[in-house]
Every structure is written in C-alpha cells, then in structure tokens.
Structure 1
Amino acid sequence: MTREERIEKLKALSKERILVLDGAMGTMIQGYKLTEADYRGELLKDHASDVKGDNELISLAQPDILREIHLKYYRAGADFAETNTFGATSIAQADYHLEHLAYQMNVESARIAREAADIAESETPGRVCFVAGVLGPTNRTASISPKVNDPGFRNVNFDQLVESYKEATKGLIEGGADTILVETIFDTLNAKAALFAIEEVFDELGFELPIMISGTITDMSGRLLSGQTPEAFWNSVRHVKPFSIGLNCALGAKEMRPHVATLSRIADAGVSAHPNAGLPNEMGEYDQDAAQMSALVGEFAKSGLVNIVGGCCGTTPEHIHAIAEAVKGATPRAKPEIEPRLRLSGLEAFTAA
C-alpha cells in the first residue's frame, strides 16, 4: 500500500471508529537499562560528550530495540506509532553536540517505525498501521526569556526554529511518515514555527500529509506555558486545517478532561487526547495502572469528546491495550459545524460579535 493509499484509509477509518495512538517512548527505553556504550554504538564510540539519555540516538545505535518497542504498541492495539524524534531537531541535539545527526535521526526513526508497521500488518491481514512523524517542542522557547532579569532576551528566534523544523520534517517524510504530529506544545510561537516549516516543506515537495497538533496544559491554571487558554491556542493554529487538535503530557486524564471538552466543542477538526498515567508521585513516577487510566479515557469516548486517544508519560503497551479495548465500538466524536466569525487570540480567545 502506498503512502497516499494509507492516508485515504486513515481518513476513512477516522469516520468509522476512534483511533489509537501509542504510549510513552521514554518509559519503554528506560526499561532496557541502556548504558553509555549502548547509546553510543559504533557511530559515536569516540564522541567527546556523554550521550546517555539522548533517546533519539536509539534510532541509530539500537534500531532493533526501537523496532521492538513499536511492535509492542502495534500489537497492543495502537493504530499509530509515534516516531522516536521528540528531540530530533538540530536545536535540541545541540545539547549533545550532535546537530549533524538530526536529519538522519528523523529518517531512521520513521523508517524503523514503518518496518514495525509492515510487520504488524503482515501479522493481521487487512490491518493498516500508521506512522506519525513527531516534531517535539525543542528545549528552547521563542516566547519566554530564560533570564529572569532580562525579559526581552531570547535564546532562539522564529527563523532558527523554522530551519530546524524544516530539516526534521524532510527527514520524517523521507523515512516514510504518514502524518506529521507537532506535539507537547508549551509555546504557541514554537508551534507556529513548526507549522510554517511543515507547510514550506509541503510546498517544496508538491504534496501534503495530514497535520496533527497536540498542546500541553502545563498545570492547573488551564493554560500553555506561554499563557494561552485551549481556545486561544486553537484560534492560533486552526489556519493549517489540521487533521486533529488535542492535548498530551503534563496532566493525567482526570485533570485533562475539561480542556479536551473545550476543544471538542470548538474545533472543526478531530480531537485527540493522550494524557499521562496520572500525575507524577514524589519520585517523579506514574502510578496509574492500565485499568484506572482506561476507565478515564474510555469515558472521554463514551461522552463523545474524542476521535483519537493514546498515552503519554508513564504509559506502556498494557495501558494502550486497555485503552484500545475501552474505546472499541465507541462512536467517534462528530465534528461540530462552526459558524464563520472573526476569531482572534492573545492569551485569551476573542470572537467578534
């Protein structure tokens, strides 16, 4: 099946049932207890900086492990594998002095996810599995100063973000991604740079992939770190006509629900939710088990709030299997008809009368 055929199948399936994203990548990689040497592999055996913890390197140094993780999620019932590229931008990889590997990380991560998808499809004839090419938020913010005493200072600008995101997007597409997922968005300006980059790449290549967008409500304030409410955030990004808009990370399903409900009411795109396995405990670990989490996410489906569900930090194939079972047979949310109005966004949304 060609990528074009898979995209058409994705659009058709989204009208028939709730789709399922995979779960946490970092949680799974931690389970392998990899050493510094494991992260380096042969490629970086003489690299001057420590690289343990650079999970995006797994795509290059331990491809068999990455393929196995993706397969575990597909076999658990996930429709999508998210590529192991959360930090695979030249900006984020600068922390390890590995900017030169960012493009290769994206290509290989998407390619390995596609290999796992092909294996999962062969195990269940007639099944179609998708690869979501992930663009993470980077470790810098275009909206907030990292210097308390200098609020006007920025350690990255829009053009730098665009250039880095363009490189990553091209790599994901070359590797075989079916969609581009801009996720864990804490700064809307970073996200707009990513979306600008994606559209420039589409223009250059002469074709488009579905765009998925997922923001992060960072705490109980109900706002992104850069200050926007979910409705203002949607007003800021809706111009790209995404396949889906949603939320992930920072919150558990219980805490995320009211914000998902807001997006469900106002967005004329699919709505996604992939929360953490509850809130972290005092040790930074996640205690919500598969049964507890799937009951909460299953209620999202029964209430007609979502089109796509999955898991973020602390989730495992067991969580995803339970979630997939919980939403099986549920009718996907019907997209509302939104009246054309002038809709603007600062920190708050504004709709002209």
Structure 2
Amino acid sequence: MNPLTPILRRHPIILLDGALATELEQRGCDLRDPLWSAKVLLETPDLIRQVHLDYFLAGADGAITASYQATVAGFMRRGLSSTEAIALIQRSVRLAIEARDAFWADPANHAGRPRPFVAASVGPYGAFLADGSEYRGDYGLSEAALIEFHRPRLAALLAAGADILACETLPCLAEAQALARLLAEFPDASAWISFSARDGAHTCHEIGRASCRERV
C-alpha cells in the first residue's frame, strides 16, 4: 500500500518540508559545488539531520532527503568508490529517519498529526551533470541508459528504509517513463513524480530551439 494512503484517510492535507538546500545555506553551508546539497552528506551530515528535525517541529508531515543530487556516478567523480557512494546515498535516508524518530519519540508531538514519513529524493539525470540540463532535459540518452543510471540509487534509497520515492522536477516525459519502467523492478515501492514545467501543459524539455511539445 502507498504509505500516504492511510495518512490521507485521516488527514486531508499533507504538509511537506521546505527547501533543504536553502536552509543549509542559511546555516552556513557553501553549496557552490557539483554535488550541491549532497556535498553536506560528506562534510556535516549532522546538520542535515537537524534541518529535518526542525522542519518536523515546524509542522512538516514528511521529510524529503538530501539525495536529489546524490548519485553513484556523481560521488565516484569526486573520487569515492561505488561502495562509498552507496553508503552516502543511504546516509541521506538514515538522517531523515533519525530525525523523524527523534521527533516522534516525544508523545507531545503526536496530537492531531500523523507519524511523519520519509520521502527519498530522486533528482533528474541532469542534476548529476550540473550543467543546467536538468532544466532542459536534452540529455540525448536512451530510456535504457536512464534506467541504468537511476537503478543503483533507487535500490540504495529503498534498502535504507525510505517510505516513498520522490522523483522530483523531471524536465522531460522520457525520464519519467524510464523511472516508471524501473519502478516495476521494485514492486513493493511507492513513488510520486513531479515535473519542471514551462506552463500548465508542457514540460521544460526543449529540442533544439523548438518550444516544448511534451504534454504533462
């Protein structure tokens, strides 16, 4: 069952947390890096846990993990092994779970609220490239190649105990289709998919200089 279903049966609105990277920057993190907020998983992971906890205290019903730009390929480009990369991706989930469990350990936080969930962020392929293509979707990759790129991260996030996957700000329909096909390999997993869009009907994907033509 989708973990959000029982929450929505009792609570008509689910409140997500706020921007993680913005809050990390306000607390002194320099995110001018190809890894963006995933850099903090390497440097000061306790700060990520604290931001998650503070969002729960502020009323968030769910935390979105610091894995938007955390990929095996991205960490290996930084010089880490694939094993170390997987461990960091899973750390993003554990930090959110630890914050959630610390929040929920206080019965005073139960009143009128569901037990918060942890959504593992899955950013688009272009976020790994760190060249702005996450806003265009002009990767030139096949569906099979996108599946191969995303597979190890999805497996790691789910193995770490994420309640649901948040496939975020996808710029093109093709990547959403690749992720939907990949999710079939994880039949017990639930996910939501959100797009970056130019308007109410079109994704941000462009082909050459043409306007977007993929309908959401």
TM over 0.5, yes or no? yes
Give per-residue Cα distances to partners, 1:217-262, cap 9 Å, x unaligned: 1x357421126xxxxxxxxxxxxxxxxxxxxxxxxxxxxxxxxxxx
Structure 2 counterpart of 1:131, one-letter code: V
Please, which runs of 5 or more residues in structure 2 have no aligned partner?
207-212
Please, which runs of 5 or more residues in structure 1 have no aligned partner?
40-49, 147-153, 228-345
- Aligned partner of 1:30 in structure 2 is 25
- Aligned partner of 1:226 in structure 2 is 205
- Aligned partner of 1:347 in structure 2 is 214
Task: State the identity as a percent.
Answer: 25
Shift of 1:125: 4.1
Q: 1:11 aligned to 2:14? A: no
Task: Name the larger-Rg structure.
Answer: 1
CA contact (8 A) 2:97 2:118 kept: yes
Structure 1 counterpart of 2:86, one-letter code: Y
Aligned CA-pair RMSD: 3.0
CA contact (8 A) 1:186 1:225 kept: yes
Distance in 1 (CA, whole Å) between partners of 2:149 and 2:39 is 17
- Aligned partner of 1:82 in structure 2 is 64
> Which aligned pairs between 1:96-135 and structure 2 lie closer than 5 A?
96=78, 98=80, 100=82, 101-123=84-106, 124-125=109-110, 127-135=114-122
Distance in 1 (CA, whole Å) between partners of 2:38 and 2:81 is 12
Distance in 1 (CA, whole Å) between partners of 2:184 and 2:99 is 28
Shift of 1:144: 5.6
Does the residue aligned with 1:19 lie in a helix, a strand or coil?
coil
Distance in 2 (CA, whole Å) between partners of 1:192 and 1:99 is 29
Scaled by the length of structure 1, the TM-score of the pair is: 0.50
Scaled by the length of structure 2, the TM-score of the pair is: 0.78
Structure 1 counterpart of 2:19, one-letter code: A
Task: Identify if the C-alpha distance between structure 1 residues 225 and 99 changes in structure 2 by more than 3 Å, giving closer, same or farther.
Answer: farther
Distance in 2 (CA, whole Å) between partners of 1:223 and 1:94 is 34
CA contact (8 A) 2:203 2:215 kept: no
- Aligned partner of 1:284 in structure 2 is none
Give per-residue Cα distances to partners, 1:12-51, cap 9 Å, x unaligned: 221232111111111011112236xxx8xxxxxxxxxx95
Q: In the alignment, which of 56, 75, 99 is matched to residue 38 of structure 2? A: 56
> Which aligned pairs between 1:1-353 and structure 2 lie closer than 5 A?
7=3, 10-15=4-9, 16-34=11-29, 54-93=36-75, 96=78, 98=80, 100=82, 101-123=84-106, 124-125=109-110, 127-139=114-126, 145=138, 154=140, 156-200=141-185, 202=186, 207-217=187-197, 219-220=198-199, 222-226=201-205, 347-348=214-215
Deviates more, 1:133-142 or 1:69-78: 133-142
